[in-house]
Amino acid sequence: MPAKKATKKQQRRTSSSPAPSKAQQPARALKAKAAGKSANATDPARIAEILRRLAAAYPNAECALHHRSAWELLVATILSAQCTDARVNMVTPSLFGKFPTPAAFAQATLPAIEEEIRSTGFYRNKAKSVSGAAKKVVAEFSGKVPDTMDQLLTLPGVARKTGNVVLGVAFQKAEGVVVDTHVLRLSRRLGLTRAEDPKRVEEDLMRMIPRERWISFSHELIQHGRQICIARKPRCVDCPLETLCNAPDKTWSSH
């Protein structure tokens, strides 16, 4: 059945209703989300509020891997795969003491590197990656870590996550968003993405997060993932994002 046309009286009433002001729109949207209603997880007002609360909760969030140069950060990030940053930080002082430059790593034997990094796990593959990256940095980049994603991705053991860490932390270049295990888990819990593949998660985040927040956002999310939104039992009752979160595995909910 065709929809009834609105009468002139109804049209007059509609057009005379005051439109919500710009200030009212985000407030109303947030109120609805806080109540768990009509949640459009990627609504710009909601994203802005998530970013505001993260920045307030973690004003000093930064990379936890100890390093004194882009090269040391690159090595530490390669070693951090499937390993805690704390463990990597225990290994790198001795490692960089023995091999202080990319040239020293390039000349080192694999067993010598393996011995230093054994406790980080997957040490044979990691030694190959670090050695290969050192050789390439020395041979093709004059001993300096390159500062573009395309060049970084040519180094053995370097994928976008490592590239983004090095570019963001060592060169302050926002070429993408670091998607590690914490960023992936939290982005899904917060409904910012449905993807499971890190590359697609990063694409979703790059679309909705303002570029000037790409670097700090990932540091803040990683810290939030370590302290509050932990993998097995998130501490939702202590979470500053709780009223904005509808994750199915929440351990406590106000709405």
Q: Which residues are catalytic?
A: 161, 180
Least distance CB 251 / ligand SF4 (angstroms): 7
Least distance CB 181 / ligand SF4 (angstroms): 14
Comparing CB distances to ligand SF4, the nearer of 165 and 244 is 244
Least distance CB 33 / ligand SF4 (angstroms): 12
Comparing CB distances to ligand SF4, the nearer of 109 and 251 is 251
Comparing CB distances to ligand SF4, the nearer of 12 and 226 is 226
**Cα(96)–Cα(126) distance, rounded to whole angstroms?**
15
Rg (the chain; Cα; Å): 23
- DSSP class of residue 234 equals -
Decide: 154 and 212 in contact? Cβ < 8 Å: no
Comparing CB distances to ligand SF4, the nearer of 137 and 229 is 229
Which residues contact ligand SF4 by CB under 6 A? 189-190, 228-229, 234-236, 239, 241-242, 245, 247, 250
Comparing CB distances to ligand SF4, the nearer of 178 and 236 is 236
Least distance CB 40 / ligand SF4 (angstroms): 17
Contacts for 49 with CB less than 8 Å, ≥ 6 apart: 26, 30, 244
- 3-class secondary structure for 79-143? HCCCCCHHHHHHHHHHHHHHCCCHHHHHHCCHHHHHHHHHHHCCHHHHHHHHHHHHHHHHHHCCC
Least distance CB 169 / ligand SF4 (angstroms): 24
